[in-house]
């Protein structure tokens, strides 16, 4: 049950596991997948980032600096808002899947340089997060931030730029080794002609820049455009297992692919409609999902959001300095939303377990414990504090190693809770 | 095939990072080694390798530039440098004008340029090609990096390889050992009871799931790394900068410089710089990046000359591929193949190695490699790390002759 709340959300708050156990597994899964109106979401409306910062003229150093500051400011506003939304959402699956798609269609503001465009992409991913993958993939081909990120704007007839075409097939829709270099070159032609208007946050195809000739991609010949390109790629026999496998790798297990029979059932659920909702439901119905082997190292954002949900700490209610320290901590752990390292997204599992990230994790946990109401721990006798901490963080069971460690700080509840959040039993979603 | 391609995907897309490749890692028994390491600092004659990874696929043809070759000018009408713009290296090649520091190293015979470095049947995927470079396995997918296997082969101690990057690169993942990592501002550990309890969380626990055990291991590694490495870096985060430097790579190299000078027994370091995926408006962007690279490498190499231990350091700079010979129409270049590798430092014989790939005899618009990257690695393993490269590189036979002084 706790695994379901971990993987289809960001982990339980205090009491959530007990409540879910009362409802039952299938009913809890159904509730996560078909949530009622979400008060937490309504209370965290998208921020208005203001107008697009004035782009500096070449060589104007002051303007360049002002632009960088304005972008930085908007980036922090947007990132803090999203973290706050992830913590506030009563039904977290929509945010969890938006977070998944952000990693899947990994786009970084480091190159886009427009938090407003990143916000638009984020909203698009959210609105299509559990719908049909076809619609999401088509939306991403003409998403303004994506077009800038993968040089779609430079891709025009007679002067193709392959970046978006290649990564779309390799990373977004099909997987490496399942297409040829010729397919890449032809696909790039299908994607020609799109230009972005940063002020209106829109992208449009300019007919004279679009290549109307015949192209052949993956054996299909015709006057392909971005929509028919997506249709051709997603119709490849290997595409469904690729997309399903990506979801599995982030929600169930990153080290091993699903067993063949499980994969076949999930692909069947994904089906001709490329239905993400149905795929997720099918995952919850697989006995393998609850198998003890399916462990995942929480990504830094998942760990920190889960911890804030457990401690009832809202990023928006932190003092400005602590809010900044939270983002610094995420950076030190290696993961800041809207700034993935490259188009392949963030790494998984043990890549997060570097020596330096371990220290950053403790610092962030200390910061959050300072701002949390720990009365359920501090208000109880020392002898009961291990159990109170276990319940606060919804950990199934402390190992004897962790109990021995935590006993050393029983008299300091903030340290106790911070250390507990760094215990292997909490860093890994078991 | 699904398992293989999926694993490849995980490995090469960065979806699974370094150590995930190295399944079945066990508790690293290096507390004892650590004690030995702190009492036996880096010895004279022990080479130190600093690997600089340039992520994104640096355009080799606009780094070491055949500016006077008509085929070069023809292929890149708006992107080409003119002969008078480049820093002349001889043999009709010149350095990118952003790399004035490396030019001075070249003139002092401290910079070697290995030309046309690649591997057979080049792959145009960043992730795949970078994984090939980092695992040194061009044909089959393997879960370990070449320096990770070197760690495995020479005694597990993760402290002997250190990454100064936020996320561990696959090249440092071994089957049994993974390198330690150090943030650029050092490891300022908590004190007192809190740290005792924090250290106790790193104890192994019988029957624990593997990933949880890996968390525990990393926490023990952290305690040991802080004891050996943490003190070498200023705790206020003000690492003594290399002269005139800016940017993350310069900061990473400043940490490496301090560790080497302090006599930390680490033999291999990994640092990196990104942003080289220049599909559009490449000329200005790449020149700025190369200037930043030059501004980080040159002061580091010069600083290393000043101490005995520093003179044991060899720097290796590579990227996952070069770019297409022809420009792409957005004043940039798409993913290509072979490129130059830089090797520098006191133990290096400066000059050119390997053949410059032809601009007219192309493979579907791409350069043909003239030097296999494993021959460069083999030279580093034999000559710098003092380890028989055979088992690390699957007995790859060739080396780059005379690259290192003997």
Cβ-based contacts of A344 with chain B (< 8 Å): 13-15, 126-127
Q: What is the pLDDT of residue B157?
A: 65
**Minimal Cβ distance to A356: which of B127, B182, B274:** B182
Q: What is the pLDDT of residue A351?
A: 80
Contact assignment for A351 to B15 by CB distance below 8 Å: no
A266 and chain B in contact, CB less than 8 A: no
pLDDT band at A155 (very low <50, low <70, confident <90, very high): very high
Q: For residue B282, report the phi and psi dihedrals to the nearest 5 degrees.
A: -75, -40
B300: closest CA of chain A, how far (Å): 23
Contact assignment for A342 to B126 by CB distance below 8 Å: yes
Helix (H) or strand (E) holding A204: strand A202-205
Report the chain B residue with the minimal C-alpha distance to residue A148: B280
Distance in angstroms (rounded) separating the CA atoms of residues B294 and A421:
42
Q: What is the pLDDT of residue B12?
A: 32
Q: What is the pLDDT of residue B398?
A: 93
pLDDT band at B121 (very low <50, low <70, confident <90, very high): confident
**Minimal Cβ distance to B15: which of A155, A344, A430:** A344
A22: closest CA of chain B, how far (Å): 28
Q: What is the pLDDT of residue B241?
A: 53
pLDDT band at B166 (very low <50, low <70, confident <90, very high): low
The single-letter DSSP state of residue B178 is B
Distance in angstroms (rounded) separating the CA atoms of residues B189 and B185:
12
Contact assignment for A351 to B213 by CB distance below 8 Å: no
Q: Name the residue among B366, B39, B269, B13 with its Cα closest to residue A176.
A: B13
Q: Which of residues 108-137 of A touch B (CB under 8 A)?
A: none
Residue A129 contacts residue A109 (beta carbons within 8 Å): no
Residue B387 contacts residue B151 (beta carbons within 8 Å): no
HSE toward the beta carbon, residue B154, CA cutoff 13 A: 24
Higher pLDDT: A250 or A347? It is: A250
Report the chain B residue with the minimal C-alpha distance to residue A343: B13
Contact assignment for A349 to B14 by CB distance below 8 Å: no
pLDDT band at A332 (very low <50, low <70, confident <90, very high): confident
Q: What is the pLDDT of residue B1?
A: 22
pLDDT band at A134 (very low <50, low <70, confident <90, very high): very high
pLDDT per residue as tens digits for the range B185-233: 777 888 899 999 999 999 999 999 989 998 998 898 888 778 776 655 5
Q: What is the pLDDT of residue B160?
A: 84
The single-letter DSSP state of residue A47 is P
Q: Which of residues 362-391 of A touch B (CB under 8 A)?
A: 362
Mutate which: B20, B175, B252, B283, vs A, most A CBs within 10 A: B20
Report the chain A residue with the minimal C-alpha distance to residue B172: A351
Q: What is the pLDDT of residue B59?
A: 94
Q: What is the pLDDT of residue B245?
A: 54
Contact assignment for A161 to B18 by CB distance below 8 Å: no
Chain position carrying tokens 């601009």 = B359
pLDDT band at A108 (very low <50, low <70, confident <90, very high): very high
Q: Per-residue pLDDT for B14 more than 90?
A: no
A400 and chain B in contact, CB less than 8 A: yes
Residue B181 contacts residue B164 (beta carbons within 8 Å): yes
Distance in angstroms (rounded) separating the CA atoms of residues B340 and B359:
14
A159 and chain B in contact, CB less than 8 A: yes
Q: What is the pLDDT of residue B5?
A: 29
**Minimal Cβ distance to B225: which of A184, A343, A355:** A355
Q: Which of residues 267-296 of B touch A (CB under 8 A)?
A: 274, 277, 279-281
Q: Sign of torsion, CA A423 A427 B3 B5? A: negative
List CB contacts of A34: < 8 A, sequence separation 6 or more. none
List CB contacts of A385: < 8 A, sequence separation 6 or more. A377, A410, A413, A416
pLDDT band at B4 (very low <50, low <70, confident <90, very high): very low
B126: closest CA of chain A, how far (Å): 9
A351 and chain B in contact, CB less than 8 A: yes
Higher pLDDT: A370 or B218? It is: A370
Mutate which: A151, A182, A354, vs B, most B CBs within 10 A: A354
Q: What is the pLDDT of residue B39?
A: 60
Q: What is the pLDDT of residue B33?
A: 34
pLDDT band at B262 (very low <50, low <70, confident <90, very high): confident
**Minimal Cβ distance to B197: which of A176, A345, A409:** A409
Q: What is the pLDDT of residue B303?
A: 94
Contact assignment for A408 to B166 by CB distance below 8 Å: no
Cβ-based contacts of B166 with chain A (< 8 Å): 331-332, 334, 354, 356-357
Give the pairing of strands A202-205 and A194-197: antiparallel
Chain position carrying tokens 């992208």 = A203
Q: What is the pLDDT of residue A104?
A: 97
The least confident of A142-156, B165-179, B223-237, B288-302 is: B223-237
B236 burial (CB, 10 Å; 0-12 / 13-18 / 19+) is: exposed
Q: What is the pLDDT of residue A60?
A: 86
Residue B145 contacts residue B176 (beta carbons within 8 Å): no
For residues B127-150, average pLDDT: 87
Report the chain A residue with the minimal C-alpha distance to residue B207: A399
Q: Per-residue pLDDT for A2 more than 70?
A: yes
Q: What is the pLDDT of residue A30?
A: 95
Q: Per-residue pLDDT for B31 more than 80?
A: no
- Helix intervals (H) in A179-275: 181-190, 226-234, 239-251, 260-270
Q: Sign of torsion, CA A67 A72 A77 A78? A: positive
Give the pairing of strands B161-163 and B268-273: parallel
Residue B304 contacts residue B310 (beta carbons within 8 Å): yes
pLDDT per residue as tens digits for the range B354-395: 999 999 999 988 999 999 999 999 999 999 999 889 889 989
A36 and chain B in contact, CB less than 8 A: no
pLDDT band at A402 (very low <50, low <70, confident <90, very high): very high
A36: closest CA of chain B, how far (Å): 33
pTM score? 0.81
Q: What percent of chain A has pLDDT over 70?
A: 100
Q: Per-residue pLDDT for A313 more than 50?
A: yes
Q: What is the pLDDT of residue B209?
A: 92
Q: Mean pLDDT over all residues of chain B?
A: 83
Q: Per-residue pLDDT for B29 more than 50?
A: no
pLDDT per residue as tens digits for the range B230-247: 655 554 444 555 555 567
**Minimal Cβ distance to A400: which of B8, B168, B205:** B205
Q: Per-residue pLDDT for A88 more than 90?
A: yes
B64 and chain A in contact, CB less than 8 A: no
pLDDT band at B2 (very low <50, low <70, confident <90, very high): very low
For residues B135-164, average pLDDT: 84
pLDDT per residue as tens digits for the range A278-307: 999 999 999 999 998 899 999 999 999 999
A298 and chain B in contact, CB less than 8 A: no
Tokens of A47: 């921020």
B216: closest CA of chain A, how far (Å): 6
A430 and chain B in contact, CB less than 8 A: yes
Q: Mean pLDDT over all residues of chain A?
A: 95
For residues A348-371, average pLDDT: 90
**Minimal Cβ distance to B218: which of A156, A255, A358:** A358
List CB contacts of B81: < 8 A, sequence separation 6 or more. B62, B65, B67, B94, B96, B97
Residue A278 contacts residue A256 (beta carbons within 8 Å): no
Tokens of B196: 């005792």
**Rounded (10°) CA dihedral A31, A37, A40, A41:** 110
Contact assignment for B3 to A349 by CB distance below 8 Å: no
A66 and chain B in contact, CB less than 8 A: no
The single-letter DSSP state of residue A257 is P
Compute the C-alpha angle A255/B161/B20, nearest 5°: 0
**Minimal Cβ distance to B167: which of A296, A297, A334:** A334
Q: Name the residue among A102, A22, A67 with its Cα closest to residue A336.
A: A102
Cβ-based contacts of B217 with chain A (< 8 Å): 353
B17 and chain A in contact, CB less than 8 A: yes
Chain position carrying tokens 């559990």 = A130
Cβ-based contacts of B277 with chain A (< 8 Å): 163, 342
DSSP string, B85-99: TSEEEETTEEE-TT-
Q: What is the pLDDT of residue B127?
A: 80
């Amino acid at each position: 049950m706790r695994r379901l709340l971990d993987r289809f959300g960001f982990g339980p708050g205090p009491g959530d596991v007990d409540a879910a156990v009362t409802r039952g597994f299938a009913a809890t899964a159904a509730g996560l997948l078909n949530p009622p109106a979400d008060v937490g979401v309504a209370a965290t409306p998208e921020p208005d980032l203001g107008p697009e910062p004035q782009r500096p003229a070449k060589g104007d150093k002051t303007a360049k600096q002002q632009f960088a500051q304005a972008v930085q400011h908007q980036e922090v506003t947007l990132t803090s808002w999203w973290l706050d939304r992830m913590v506030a959402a009563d039904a977290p699956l929509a945010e969890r899947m938006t977070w998944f798609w952000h990693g899947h269609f990994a786009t970084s503001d480091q190159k886009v340089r427009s938090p407003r465009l990143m916000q638009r992409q984020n909203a698009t991913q959210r609105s299509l997060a559990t719908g049909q993958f076809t619609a999401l993939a088509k939306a991403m081909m003409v998403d303004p931030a994506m077009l800038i990120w993968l040089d779609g704007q430079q891709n025009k007839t007679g002067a193709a730029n392959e970046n978006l075409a290649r990564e779309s097939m390799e990373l977004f829709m099909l997987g490496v080794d399942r297409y040829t270099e010729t397919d890449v070159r032809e696909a790039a032609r299908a994607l020609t002609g799109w230009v972005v208007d940063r002020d209106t946050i829109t992208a449009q195809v300019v007919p004279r820049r679009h290549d109307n000739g015949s192209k052949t991609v993956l054996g299909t010949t015709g006057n392909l455009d971005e929509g028919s390109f997506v249709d051709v790629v997603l119709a490849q026999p290997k595409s469904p297992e690729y997309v399903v496998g990506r979801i599995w790798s982030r929600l169930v297990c990153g080290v091993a692919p699903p067993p063949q029979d499980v994969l076949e059932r999930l692909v069947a659920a994904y089906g001709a409609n490329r239905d993400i909702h149905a795929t997720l439901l099918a995952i919850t119905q697989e006995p393998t999902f609850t198998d003890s082997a399916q462990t995942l190292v929480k990504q830094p954002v998942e760990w920190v959001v889960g911890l804030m949900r457990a401690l009832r700490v809202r990023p928006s209610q932190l003092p400005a300095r602590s809010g900044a320290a939270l983002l610094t901590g995420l950076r030190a752990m290696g993961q800041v939303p809207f700034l993935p390292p490259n188009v392949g997204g963030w790494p998984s599992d043990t890549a997060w377990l570097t020596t330096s990230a371990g220290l950053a994790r403790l610092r962030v946990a200390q910061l959050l414990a300072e701002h949390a109401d720990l009365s359920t721990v501090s208000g109880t006798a020392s002898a009961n504090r291990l159990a109170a901490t276990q319940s606060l963080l919804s950990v199934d069971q402390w190992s004897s190693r962790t109990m021995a460690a935590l006993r050393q700080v029983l008299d300091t509840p903030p340290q106790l809770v911070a250390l507990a959040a760094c215990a292997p039993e909490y860093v890994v979603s078991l | 095939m699904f398992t293989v391609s999926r694993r490849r995907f995980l490995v090469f897309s960065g979806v699974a990072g370094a150590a995930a490749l190295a399944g079945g890692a066990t508790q690293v028994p290096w507390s004892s080694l650590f004690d030995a390491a702190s009492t036996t600092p880096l010895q004279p004659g022990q080479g130190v390798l600093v690997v600089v990874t340039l992520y994104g696929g640096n355009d080799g043809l606009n780094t070491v530039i055949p500016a006077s070759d008509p085929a070069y000018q023809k292929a890149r009408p708006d992107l080409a440098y003119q002969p008078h713009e480049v820093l002349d290296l001889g043999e009709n090649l010149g350095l990118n004008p952003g790399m004035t520091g490396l030019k001075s190293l070249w003139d002092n015979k401290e910079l070697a340029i290995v030309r046309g470095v690649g591997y057979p049947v080049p792959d145009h995927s960043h992730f795949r090609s970078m994984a090939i470079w980092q695992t040194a396995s061009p044909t089959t997918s393997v879960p370990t990096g070449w320096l990770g296997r070197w760690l495995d082969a020479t005694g597990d101690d993760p402290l002997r390889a250190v990454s100064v990057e936020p996320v561990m690169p696959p090249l440092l993942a071994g089957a049994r050992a993974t390198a330690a990592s150090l943030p650029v501002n050092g490891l300022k550990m908590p004190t007192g009871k809190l740290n005792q309890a924090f250290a106790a969380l790193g104890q192994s626990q019988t029957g624990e799931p593997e990933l949880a055990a890996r968390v525990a291991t990393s926490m023990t590694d952290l305690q040991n790394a802080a004891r050996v490495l943490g003190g070498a870096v200023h705790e206020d985060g003000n690492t003594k900068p290399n002269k005139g430097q800016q940017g993350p790579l310069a900061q990473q190299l400043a940490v490496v410089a301090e560790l080497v000078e302090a006599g930390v027994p680490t033999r291999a370091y990994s640092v990196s710089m990104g942003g080289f995926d220049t599909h559009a408006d490449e000329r200005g962007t790449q020149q700025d990046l190369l200037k930043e690279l030059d501004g980080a490498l040159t002061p580091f190499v010069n600083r290393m000359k000043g101490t005995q231990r520093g003179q044991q350091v060899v720097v290796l700079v590579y990227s996952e591929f070069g770019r297409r010979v022809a420009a792409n129409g957005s004043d940039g270049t798409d993913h290509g193949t072979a490129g130059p590798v830089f090797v520098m430092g006191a133990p290096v014989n400066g000059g050119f190695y390997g053949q410059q790939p032809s601009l007219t005899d192309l493979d579907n618009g791409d350069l043909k490699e003239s030097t296999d990257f494993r021959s460069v690695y083999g030279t580093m393993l034999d000559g710098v790390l003092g380890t028989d490269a055979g088992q690390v590189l699957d007995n790859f036979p060739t080396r780059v002759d005379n690259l290192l002084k003997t």
